[in-house]
Structure 1
Amino acid sequence: MHLSALALYRNNELYRHWAPILKILSMLWMVLALFMLVPCAVLLLEREPDTQAFGVSILVILSMVALIWLLTYRVPLELKPWQMFILTVTSWTSISGFASLPLVLGAPQLSFTNAVFESVSAITTTGSTVMVDLDSLSDGLKLWRGLMQWMGGIGIIVTGIAILPFLKVGGMRLFHTESSDWSDKVMPRTGGIAKATLGIYIGFTLFAIVSYGLAGMTPIDATVYGMTSIATGGFANSDASFGIYADKPWLLWMGSLFMLSGALPFVLYIRFLRGFKSAPWKDQQVQGLLKLLLAAIMMLSVWRIFHGTPVFEAFTHVTFNVISVVTTTGYASQDYSLWGALPVVAFFYLTFIGGCSGSTSGGMKIFRLQIATLMLRNQLRYLIHANGVFTTRYNQQPVTNDISRGVVAFSFFFFITIALLALSLAALGLDFITALSGAVTAVTNVGPGLGDVIGPAGNFAPLPDTAKWLLCIGMLMGRLEILTVVVLLTPMFWRR
Structure 2
Amino acid sequence: MAGLNYRIIIHLMGLLLLFNGGFMLIAALVSGVYNDGATLDITLAAIITLLLGILAMFYTRGHEKEVKKKEGYIIVTLGWIVMSASGVMPYIFSGAIPSITNAFFETISGYTTTGASILDDIESIPRGILFWRSLTHWIGGMGIIVLAIAILPLLGIGGMQLFSAEAPGPSADKLHPRITDTAKRLWLIYFGYTAAETLLLRVAGMSFFDALNHSMATLSTGGFSTKNASLAYWSNQPLIQYIVIVFMFLAGSNFVLSYFAFKGKIQRVLRDEEFKFYGIFILIFTLVTAVVVYFMANVEVSDYYPMAFGEAESSFRHALFQVVAVITTTGFVTADFTAWTPFLTVFFFGLMFMGGSAGSTAGGIKVMRHLLIIKNGLLEFKRTLHPNAIIPVRFNNKTVSEHIVYNVIAFFVLYMLLFIIGALVLSLLGLDFISAIGGAASSLGNVGPAFGSLNPVSNYNSLPALGKWWCGFLMLAGRLELFTVLILFNPYFWKKI
- Same fold flag (TM > 0.5): yes
Q: 2:52 aligns with which of 58, 64, 87?
A: 64
Residue 202 of structure 2 aligns with an amino acid whose one-letter code is G
Partner-residue secondary structure (3-state), 1:353: coil
2:164: which partner in 1? 166
1:90: which partner in 2? 78
- Cα distance in 1 for partners of 2:444, 2:419 equals 7
For structure 1, which segment, 399-408 or 107-116, has the greater mean C-alpha deviation from structure 2 after superposition?
107-116
Q: Does 1:153 align with 2:154?
A: no
Aligned length: 473
- Cα distance in 1 for partners of 2:225, 2:392 equals 46
State how 1:321-340 maps to structure 2 within 5 Å: 321-340=322-341
Give the conservation status (yes or no) of the 8 Å contact 2:167–2:480: no
Per the TM alignment, residue 269 of structure 1 is displaced from its structure 2 partner at its CA by 1.6
- Cα distance in 2 for partners of 1:220, 1:42 equals 9
Residue 373 of structure 2 aligns with an amino acid whose one-letter code is A
Give the conservation status (yes or no) of the 8 Å contact 1:27–1:65: yes
- Cα distance in 2 for partners of 1:86, 1:341 equals 43
1:251: which partner in 2? 240
Deviations 1:63-83 (A, max 9, x none): 211221221112243211111
State how 1:272-291 maps to structure 2 within 5 Å: 272-291=261-280
Residue 49 of structure 2 aligns with an amino acid whose one-letter code is I
Residue 367 of structure 1 aligns with an amino acid whose one-letter code is M
State how 1:11-90 maps to structure 2 within 5 Å: 17-90=5-78
Give the conservation status (yes or no) of the 8 Å contact 2:357–2:366: yes
Pick closer, same or farther for the CA change 1:330–1:167 going to 2, 3 Å. closer
For structure 1, which segment, 131-140 or 287-296, has the greater mean C-alpha deviation from structure 2 after superposition?
131-140
State how 1:3-18 maps to structure 2 within 5 Å: 17-18=5-6
- Cα distance in 2 for partners of 1:275, 1:213 equals 28
Per the TM alignment, residue 110 of structure 1 is displaced from its structure 2 partner at its CA by 2.8
Give the conservation status (yes or no) of the 8 Å contact 1:265–1:357: yes
2:486: which partner in 1? 486
Deviations 1:398-426 (A, max 9, x none): 01011011101111111111111110110
Deviations 1:80-115 (A, max 9, x none): 111101001000111011111111111413300000
Residue 58 of structure 1 aligns with an amino acid whose one-letter code is A
1:212: which partner in 2? 201
- Cα distance in 2 for partners of 1:312, 1:157 equals 42
Pick closer, same or farther for the CA change 1:264–1:113 going to 2, 3 Å. same
- Cα distance in 1 for partners of 2:313, 2:165 equals 47
1:433: which partner in 2? 434
1:121: which partner in 2? 109
Residue 335 of structure 1 aligns with an amino acid whose one-letter code is D
Q: Does 1:301 align with 2:302?
A: no
Deviations 1:144-203 (A, max 9, x none): 1111101111217938995577359722x443xxxxxx43xx312111111111111100
- Cα distance in 1 for partners of 2:75, 2:163 equals 15
Residue 332 of structure 1 aligns with an amino acid whose one-letter code is V
Partner-residue secondary structure (3-state), 1:375: helix
Deviations 1:299-355 (A, max 9, x none): 111111113771101001000010000000000001111111111111000011110
- Cα distance in 2 for partners of 1:469, 1:100 equals 14
Partner-residue secondary structure (3-state), 1:278: helix
Give the conservation status (yes or no) of the 8 Å contact 2:329–2:364: yes
- Cα distance in 2 for partners of 1:211, 1:68 equals 41
Gaps of 5+ in 1: 1-12, 176-181
1:192: which partner in 2? 181
1:5: which partner in 2? none
Give the conservation status (yes or no) of the 8 Å contact 2:166–2:480: no
- Cα distance in 1 for partners of 2:324, 2:68 equals 39
Pick closer, same or farther for the CA change 1:164–1:449 going to 2, 3 Å. farther
2:217: which partner in 1? 228
Residue 296 of structure 2 aligns with an amino acid whose one-letter code is H
2:131: which partner in 1? 143
Residue 475 of structure 1 aligns with an amino acid whose one-letter code is M
Partner-residue secondary structure (3-state), 1:166: helix
Give the conservation status (yes or no) of the 8 Å contact 2:355–2:367: yes
Pick closer, same or farther for the CA change 1:275–1:28 going to 2, 3 Å. same
Gaps of 5+ in 2: 150-158, 300-310
- Cα distance in 1 for partners of 2:329, 2:356 equals 8
TM-score under structure 1 length normalisation: 0.92
State how 1:297-446 maps to structure 2 within 5 Å: 297-307=286-296, 310-446=311-447
- Cα distance in 1 for partners of 2:202, 2:128 equals 18
- Cα distance in 2 for partners of 1:41, 1:165 equals 31
Per the TM alignment, residue 21 of structure 1 is displaced from its structure 2 partner at its CA by 1.0
Give the conservation status (yes or no) of the 8 Å contact 2:92–2:99: yes
2:153: which partner in 1? none
Give the conservation status (yes or no) of the 8 Å contact 2:109–2:475: yes
Pick closer, same or farther for the CA change 1:168–1:437 going to 2, 3 Å. closer
Give the conservation status (yes or no) of the 8 Å contact 1:297–1:319: yes
2:191: which partner in 1? 202
Pick closer, same or farther for the CA change 1:387–1:109 going to 2, 3 Å. closer
For structure 1, which segment, 43-52 or 426-435, has the greater mean C-alpha deviation from structure 2 after superposition?
43-52
1:100: which partner in 2? 88
- Cα distance in 2 for partners of 1:174, 1:153 equals 17
For structure 1, which segment, 285-294 or 103-112, has the greater mean C-alpha deviation from structure 2 after superposition?
103-112
